[in-house]
Amino acid sequence: MIKKRYLVLADGGIYEGTAFGGEVNCIGELVFNTGMTGYQESITDQSYNGEILMFTYPLIGNYGINFDDDESVTPRTAGVVVHELARKVSNWRSQMNLDEFLKQHHIPGIAGIDTRELTKIVRVQGTMKAALVNTLEQAQAFLQSDVKKTSPDLVTQSTTQNAYPNPNSGKRIVVIDFGLKHSILRELAQRQCNVTVLPATATAQQVLNYQPDGVLLSNGPGDPKDVPTALAMIRTVEKTVPLFGICLGHQLFALANGADTYKMKFGHRGFNHPVREIATNRIDFTAQNHGYAVDAASVQQTDLLVTHQEINDQTIEGLRHKKYPAFSVQFHPDAAPGPHDASYLFDEFLDNIESFQRQRRISTHA
């Protein structure tokens, strides 16, 4: 039996569609993703915590779901909006369909929505609160509620609660989990890194107790200004060992060094964003998922140097510290899903570590 479901926008718009996935209502910020593939990686990306994820590509679910491509064990995407849900799955790796997967994780979905038209609305008006509900009465109740209220605890929900290892034989890397994607751990594992993952609440002393060769600040959801406790940790760690920030980690690196961040009108979410490295004019096509950016004017009075820019809107995509071996990028060099153009940045991180340790040995024996 086909069940109705309604997508309700904070501006009063109500869109009728067909229900799939979890049989629950949800409230979240409506955002859009322009990727043609990668719906599983996106839905399981903790950076989408609290967001209703709308796919602009018209057919979603055609290659199913498999256990290998999850970016986290417990996805926290609030809801999913598609134009058409694939009726049949065709891929040898598939272990279930998207409807079954969303039911398993109690995430509601709605199909039959003109996602291209709705994306134009979001581009003009900006991201807004929305809800997926099962009745028109519930839709009206949402519109009469405090729809602007947001949760400041998204990172707390997404981070690990306990430290855990991902052992190997190479460099000792501490990863601070603000909403970590598993593909970051895969990239480090491919380079034989001996990884320990720590919660977002880790102090500088707790980080340094592991005697790391380098520290990586992960991606994560929400407003970087909702994670003020991380800033003191970053300021201490960057003076001690090489540091690499990705996405939310990039924004926190900026805040810790005196720059500012702001909420974008509708953010960058997709796998085809062109980024220019300023020093070389190299162009990388990148995977991105963020609704906040570093304010370019605020960087000028800091010890940070802008290294990368987004070609379409010139937003800051990379920073490097002028004094310490620390750098960050706004995009996802782990490229899951998306192009692999920028995976070399993990090698650059390890090169920074080698260079730092070499200089330290020279100064010790001088």
- Known catalytic residues are 247, 332, 334
Q: Is the dihedral of CA 153, 158, 163, 167 positive or negative?
A: negative
Q: Provide the CA 197 distance to its chain's centre, in angstroms.
A: 17
Residue 61 is labelled as binding a ligand = no
Residue 248 is labelled as binding a ligand = yes
Residue 324 is labelled as binding a ligand = no
Residue 251 is labelled as binding a ligand = yes
Residue 47 is labelled as binding a ligand = yes
**Residue appearing with tokens 């692999």:** 340
Which secondary structure element, helix H or strand E, spans residue 285, and what is its range?
strand 282-294
How far is the C-alpha of 190 from the C-alpha of 157, rounded, in Å? Answer: 28
Among the listed residues 70, 122, 127, 125, the one whose alpha carbon sits nearest the alpha carbon of residue 101: 70
Lookup: tokens for 144 = 């009469």
- Looking at residue 46, what DSSP letter applies? G
E-assigned strand segments in 178-281: 194-199, 214-217, 243-246, 261-277
Terminal CA-CA length for the chain: 78
Residue 249 is labelled as binding a ligand = no
Lookup: tokens for 341 = 């153009």
Lookup: tokens for 27 = 């409230």
At 357, give phi and psi (nearest 5°).
Answer: -70, -35
Residue 291 is labelled as binding a ligand = yes
Q: Which residues are annotated as a binding site for L-glutamine?
A: 47, 220, 222, 248, 251, 289, 291-292
